[in-house]
């Protein structure tokens, strides 16, 4: 019996060019087939949802690591880019972390390693890697 199960309900209307919806606990997302494939394009598509899952896992993992280290984070943003190159999905996370002026030189110097650590331990990223997705993460320069 799964202790962290996720239950989703999905609906779809109006065929290929229609739209659908994914609903779950505190979760409601419109979905569609991308316009470039002949769909309506009026909702998230599977690639967007997959990249969003990877990004959400990465930023949550990074946040936990930064909080655990008690770093004085003033701002945390992650830009994620997902591209399909020769039928291989590639996801790149770039973390932009602003520490308080009171942060030590050691704390600032530790950021790149903590970003790499978050990438290494992110559950969703690791599952996707097993499926052949290439994932990279770096600290913004």
User: What Rg value do the Cα atoms of the chain yield, rounded?
Assistant: 18
What percent helix, strand, coil does the chain show, rounded to 5?
A: 35, 35, 30
Structural domain of residue 40, as residue ranges?
1-44
> Which CATH number characterizes residue 131's domain?
3.30.300.20
- Tell me: pLDDT of 126 over 60: yes
Residue 51 buriedness (CB in 10 A; 0-12 / 13-18 / 19+): buried
> Which CATH number characterizes residue 6's domain?
2.20.25
pTM passes above 0.85 = yes
Q: How many structural domains compose the chain?
A: 2
| Res. 90 pLDDT band, cuts 50 70 90 | very high
119 in the same domain as 59: yes
pLDDT at 141: 84
Please give the Cα distance from 14 to 92 (Å, whole number).
35
Chain-wide mean pLDDT for the chain?
96
Per cent of the chain over pLDDT 70 is 99
């Amino acid at each position: 019996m799964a202790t962290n199960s996720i239950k989703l309900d999905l609906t779809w209307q109006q065929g290929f060019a229609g739209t659908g919806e994914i609903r779950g606990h505190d979760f409601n997302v419109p979905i569609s087939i991308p316009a470039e494939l002949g769909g309506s394009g009026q909702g998230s598509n599977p690639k967007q949802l997959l990249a969003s899952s990877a990004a959400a896992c990465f930023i949550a993992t990074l946040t936990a690591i930064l909080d655990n280290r008690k770093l004085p984070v003033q701002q945390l943003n992650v830009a994620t880019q997902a591209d399909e190159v020769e039928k291989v999905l590639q996801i790149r996370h770039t973390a932009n972390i602003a520490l308080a002026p009171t942060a030590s030189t050691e704390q600032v110097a530790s950021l790149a390693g903590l970003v790499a650590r978050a990438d290494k331990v992110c559950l969703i990223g690791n599952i996707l890697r097993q499926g052949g997705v290439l994932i990279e993460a770096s600290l913004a320069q």
